[in-house]
Structure 1
Amino acid sequence: MDIFTVIFMYINLGLEHIITGYDHLLFLLGLIVIAERFRAVLKIITAFTISHSLTLCLAVLHLVPVYPKWIEVGIALTICYIAVENVFIQTFRWRWALTFVFGLIHGLGFASAIREVGFQQSYLATSLVSFNVGIELGQLLIVGLLLPMLIRFREKSGYYPIFFRGVSACIFLIGLYWVVARMGAL
């Protein structure tokens, strides 16, 4: 396999993982539904990217252990927390720091998911970077589609607080369902 095939394959795997990873999509929605400005979301997404890239690399290099079932429960708990914080916390100035911490858990989830396919050992660094690029492209695509609509709705509608709380409540309930279901699988 040549390097360009590896790059293309792992970018596609990263994109596919985000687009079909409903828990990651829900987490991302929970992060951006509170956004008032693109700049704030950029800071949050950057913190998430750095942290999940870190734990993904450490897990792929076998420097940290990966316990898939516990990680899946942890990811569901991060979703629940973000939804609760959306409703009860008045300032999101430190959301980027919290997202950094939660990204560490999500990075282990990415590592768990990629273990099924594995990385091309002769192109390990290229595979890892390409998978991460695919994840980021997927996240940027989702944020690029949703954020302008959410900001416009916030600016133009007096119903945004109701919408925002309703979305956060749904995110919490789905996250809680996943916590219970995933705990049952332990």
Structure 2
Amino acid sequence: MKRWLLLLVALLLPLAALAHKPSDSYLTLRASAGGGEIAVRWDIALRDLDYVLELDRDGDGALTWGEVRQRADDITGYATSRLELRAGNATCEWSTAGPLMLERHSDGTYAVLALRADCAGLAAGLRARYSLLFDVDPSHRGLVQWIAPGNPSQALIFGAESAQQALPMQPPGPWQTLKQYVADGVWHIWIGYDHILFLLALLLPSVLVVRRHGQWESAPGLRGAAGDVFKVVTAFTVAHSITLSLAALEVVSLPSRLVESAIAASVVLAALNNLRPTAASRRWIAAFVFGLIHGFGFASVLADLGLPRDALVLALVGFNVGVELGQLAIVAVFLPVAFALRHTLFYRFGVVKIGSILVALLAAWWFVQRAFDL
């Protein structure tokens, strides 16, 4: 038993550093109407730049504008060495188009680079090779808004597995747009550790029932457990789909800091309910209520990806479908394993009790970090 508990701790401890969303940078590439010149705005998190370039020279843990400004050339050189643009067979030449600036995003302060790429023969097609931070963080992504002459913006995502991509001169068709946003939705739920922990905290008791003295005991059959899982997942899905759509369509908007803090609090409450079950048969209600908050969190990610105005509904549907497919994959792994282990002391005490305590502590730390902007 002790070995299994140590394993649970080891699995959860790395998540303590993931209170904020995963590492992303934001690139806007706008080709000039005459062709040959591309205006580039690149937002890169200061925490990422500090990690690779050690910007905090005095080591006090607080970056100042002076420390960042002194390394402006190093930051620009590092960034441009990690992004190669090629027009036809020729590599585009980088130049600086403006001074380094800072801008506040929902997850911290970003350095903003204003650059220009001179590309001869743009009509021959443009390709990009992106490698920022991949050597230290393979999960990092570059979120790109590409604006070709005379066309609406197109959203592209560069990751370790998609580091080289063509920048199309014409917008993608409906099928390509749908497929892209489905993949984005699946990816987001799989790296959204707070969303996953909330869902799993609600699902852990699905293979159990409350008996004497409010304690959990094994559920008698798989059918009842699957029905409970279905109610929880459906309630969560319906709720976050509502607020995701409202926020993405700019009908309702909430401050990111409030949303992220509330998401962390929802994980705490879901985990604590497993320790003293007060809403054992009504967990689907909690899934629906807090799912409304989680939907705003999904919407912020979708906004970061960039919604094509000419295919807004298609992108929204694709992202939502991707989130649901990602959830179903998690449930498909969880349910048979949990049902097989439901009789064991390891599951009822080690996973449900001790695991819920660890999840509650972890989410409480996330809440402190987000609420107080640490």
Same fold (TM over 0.5): yes
Match of 2:364 in 1: 176
2:70 is aligned to none
In the alignment, residue 28 of structure 1 is paired with which amino acid?
Answer: L
Query: Residue 247 of structure 2: SS of its match in structure 1?
Result: helix
Deviation at 1:91, TM superposition (A): 4.8
2:270 match? 82
Q: In structure 1, what is the Cα distance between the partners aligned to 2:278 and 2:248?
A: 38
Q: Over aligned residue pairs, what C-alpha RMSD do you find?
A: 1.2
User: CA-to-partner distance for each residue in 1:109-143, whole Å, 9 max, x for gaps?
Assistant: 00011111121211111111110110000000011
In the alignment, what sits opposite 1:31? 202
Alignment of 1:3-152 (within 5 A): 3-36=174-207, 37-152=225-340
Give SS of 2:305's match: coil
Q: Which amino acid aligns with 1:7?
A: L
Tell me the SS of whatever aligns to 2:342. helix
Q: Which amino acid aligns with 2:204?
A: V
* TM score, norm. by length of structure 2: 0.48
| Residue 153, structure 1, aligned to residue 341, structure 2 | yes
| Long gaps (5+) in structure 1 | none
Distance 2:340 2:308 in 1: 43
The ranges of structure 1 where at least 4 consecutive aligned residues each deviate by more than 6 angstroms after the TM superposition are none
Identity %: 38
Cα distance in structure 2, aligned partners of 1:69 and 1:181: 10
Q: TM-score, normalised by structure 1?
A: 0.95
More helix per residue: 1 or 2? Answer: 1
Residues 273 and 279 in structure 2, CA contact (< 8 A), matched pair in contact too: no
d(CA) in 1 for partners of 2:346 and 2:187? 34
Deviation at 1:161, TM superposition (A): 2.1
Which is bigger in relative contact order (C-alpha 8 A, separation at least 6)?
A: 1
Contact map agreement 1:66 1:112 (CA 8 A) in 2:
no
Q: Which amino acid aligns with 1:18?
A: I
Q: Which segments of 5 or more consecutive residues in structure 2 lack a partner in the other structure?
A: 1-171, 208-224
Name the structure with the higher strand share. 2
Inter-partner Cα distance in structure 1 for 2:330 and 2:240: 17
Residues 75 and 105, structure 1, Cα contact 8 Å, conserved in 2: yes
User: Equivalent residue of 1:89, what SS?
Assistant: coil
Quick one: distance in 2 between partners of 1:102 and 1:21? 15
Q: More deviation in 24-33 or 68-77?
A: 24-33
